[in-house]
Structure 1
Amino acid sequence: MIDNNPQLKGRMTVFAPLNAWMFKAMSGHNVQILSVSIFIIGNLICAIAPNFLTLAAGRVISAYGAAMFTPSATALAVELLPPARKGFALSLIFGGMTVSQVAGVPATSWIADAIGWRFSFGFVVIAGLLALIIFAPMMSGIATKAPERGNSPISKGLSKATYGILSVTLFVVVSEFIVYSYVSVFIIGSLLAGVPLLSAALFAYGFGAVTGNVACGVLTDRFGPYKVLIAVVGAQLILLVGLVAFRQHGALTVLIAFFWGNVSYMYLVPIQHRLLGLAGDRSKLVLAMNSSTTFAGIAISAFLGGILVETSGVPSLAAASILIGLIGIGLAVAFMRDAAPAETATAACPR
């Protein structure tokens, strides 16, 4: 049920920390049920909207529900699994996000093209209702920890390291999305028998994101968030440069896109792993701040990338990605390296 619309992400940037504060006194499973319900209502309004104003209102409501869901789901997943499997718990959440992009986004786009945009919103409503029917009974039997404390929406008392890691998120996201935002501009031509190269590359990227996400939780639990983050961000920078350099080389372009997909979501798990270790009883607020930072980074990268493409051409995207990514790696060295490598020496990778 993840939406890739840029305007929705902009609203989630604002709503995520606000929701974390407003619902801090509510148990995690109740926040989950409420967030999905609000998301469903928002999409239902969109499906039956008689005019643009009503449609926009429905989008805002669905964004509000989506912004509630991800930080709360992340905190709840980590809470329910042992500390040594924190990375695996995080990968479960991001696994759902990646699968939604590989399957959900094309499915709703096809429905909109084939039978109308209202039916695409209706499809999301049905999917949301099925999710609510399935997991609401499961949630009712979960005993969760006490709600988070704190009386202010401002992140009072958060450590310097927390802000440092949020800056890592910002620079790493910008370094990736400054290229990703413009793949449709520079990946052109056909792969084989008229298959559009862009479509093949995006499919390979999405498939790689799913497989990479499966491995990420295991790697984070085994080697620790710091080592995994440095490795995947370094690999991503190399692959992004390769994608720009070999953007019209058919099968090679698709192969690079696949490997890029493998590492593209892998930085999210170690960053959130480290943030949860620092957050204490303010985990939902910190995770919401990280979500907002992510969406802000996507917006910034689209803006900067547009300027670069217009003024300096596509190759400048690779140079900017390297520069911004290296800053992110430097910040990670400063703020991530004190993270415990793995919660226990005997932490085994999930089978």
Structure 2
Amino acid sequence: MPFTVHLLALAAFAQGTSEFMLSGLVSDIAHDLHVSIPAAGALTSAFAVGMIIGAPLMAILSLRWSRRRALLTFLVAFLLVHVLGAVTTSFAVLLATRVVAALANAGFLAVAVATATGLAAPNAKGRATSVLLGGVTLACVAGVPAGAWLGQLWGWRSAFWAVALVSVPAIIAILASVPADSGPHRPSCAPTSARAELRTLRNLRLLVTLLLGALVNGATFCAYTYLAPLTTTVTGLTPAWVPAVLALFGLGSFLGVTAGGRFADTRPVPFLVAGASALLIGWIAFALTATVPTATAMLALLQGALSFAVGSTLISQVLYTATDAPTLAGGYATAAFNVGGALGPWLGGLPVTAGLDYRAPLWVSALLVAAALTLAGAAQALRRRPTARARAITEPAARPCDHLTD
């Protein structure tokens, strides 16, 4: 795997840390800026909305830029808004910086996915995707706990400074290793407009894959969001054990992304079927055994691994399916997964609000994965008996550039 892909993963680590670290900083931010905790929680929602809107929007904006220019623009903007967030005394300004940071993060990921898969061999998109997403999962394992530790030691602003500082080596690395292309980041015979890339959304297989990604990621973050209160109120562990359980989930996610990259390019369909089936069984088992501390620890690790193994493989399948839209494909995948990341916690919160305990989100996660398996089965059955119209949608005619992966 080209070393540049690992450097892009460093930037993904900084951005993943920024996205998730507020979970440990909300109380301090609310106290320092004189707002309520729910108001401070809106910073997380603002980031999620910015990611959903920004993924396709920023990908379209960057279509006529070179990859180096696009990556640098988004990463420098990301760094600068974190500096502004670290020094501001206005909650409104901080909220605005979270939206801009999300837009920059979404644009960077869209281009970084296209860059990573373009630098890799034509049949190694899955491995390249897993390396890039490995930076995000490492943020869950190390970046988020480090941000919380810095917040406790020197205040929440120090975490923002740390994210900005970690972004600097990535900027230097992009300047040194990503070619300074003079033209747009696409082959000369590929589509030359956003409209042309948007036409890939007519591909039914792509739409199904995006929906599967949203469902699986929704299940992941539905459970992850309520893992801390589950650990203390259902499992019965003390709050001191919460970081360890979250770290196990993060470690599992890193292992899952790494394992997924080994199978995503060779046997993706069997891997997805087996992985999603195991994921469904795992969420059910977790809900049934959540009162047992050992089971909670083991299943946090296992479900983290399965969730991200399946999720990263689905991202690679988006890229394989949308070869005519290499940059927007990354934007589509980023948006779909963030839709799941936003809806999953909301859906998990509905039964809790209705009075059920924190096992309920695990059952919601199981239902979401079951829905994904049902959808995949229906799509596969439709593919086996395609009408002339369905064949035209799911299997677009080959074009001169179909052999290109970038």
TM-score clears 0.5: yes
Stretch moving more, 33-42 or 46-55:
46-55
Aligned length: 338
Q: What residue in structure 2 maps to residue 346 of structure 1?
A: none
| Equivalence map 1:210-289=2 (5 Å) | 210-223=254-267, 225-289=268-332
* One-letter amino acid of the counterpart of residue 252, structure 1: A
RMSD, matched Cα: 2.6
| Equivalence map 1:1-351=2 (5 Å) | 1=14, 2=16, 3-4=19-20, 6-7=44-45, 8-140=47-179, 145-146=186-187, 149-152=192-195, 155-158=198-201, 159-188=203-232, 196-223=240-267, 225-311=268-354, 313-314=356-357, 315-335=359-379
The answer on whether the counterparts of 1:43 and 1:125 sit within 8 Å (CA) in structure 2 is yes
* One-letter amino acid of the counterpart of residue 103, structure 2: Y
The answer on whether the counterparts of 2:234 and 2:290 sit within 8 Å (CA) in structure 1 is no
How far residue 194 of structure 1 moved from its aligned partner, in angstroms, is 6.4
Provide Cα deviations, 1:54-73, integer angstroms capped at 9, x if missing partner. 21222222112101111211
Q: Aligned with 2:65: secondary structure? A: coil
How far residue 191 of structure 1 moved from its aligned partner, in angstroms, is 9.4
Partners of 2:305 and 2:146 in 1: CA distance: 22
How far residue 77 of structure 1 moved from its aligned partner, in angstroms, is 0.8
Provide Cα deviations, 1:189-238, integer angstroms capped at 9, x if missing partner. 79999673322211111111112221111122232x21221222221222
Partners of 1:324 and 1:100 in 2: CA distance: 25
How far residue 49 of structure 1 moved from its aligned partner, in angstroms, is 0.9
How far residue 288 of structure 1 moved from its aligned partner, in angstroms, is 0.9
How far residue 138 of structure 1 moved from its aligned partner, in angstroms, is 0.7
Partners of 1:249 and 1:78 in 2: CA distance: 42
The answer on whether the counterparts of 2:218 and 2:365 sit within 8 Å (CA) in structure 1 is yes
Partners of 1:165 and 1:129 in 2: CA distance: 35
The answer on whether the counterparts of 1:21 and 1:153 sit within 8 Å (CA) in structure 2 is no
Partners of 1:336 and 1:17 in 2: CA distance: 27
Partners of 2:229 and 2:112 in 1: CA distance: 35
How far residue 262 of structure 1 moved from its aligned partner, in angstroms, is 1.3
TM-score relative to the length of structure 2: 0.77
Judged with a 3 Å threshold, the aligned counterparts in structure 2 of structure 1 residues 252 and 23 are, in CA distance, closer, same or farther, namely same
Q: Which runs of 5+ in 1 are unaligned?
A: 340-351
Provide Cα deviations, 1:131-180, integer angstroms capped at 9, x if missing partner. 21233211136796437522449933421211111111122222333222
TM-score relative to the length of structure 1: 0.88
Provide Cα deviations, 1:92-146, integer angstroms capped at 9, x if missing partner. 1111110111111111111112111111111111111122123321113679643
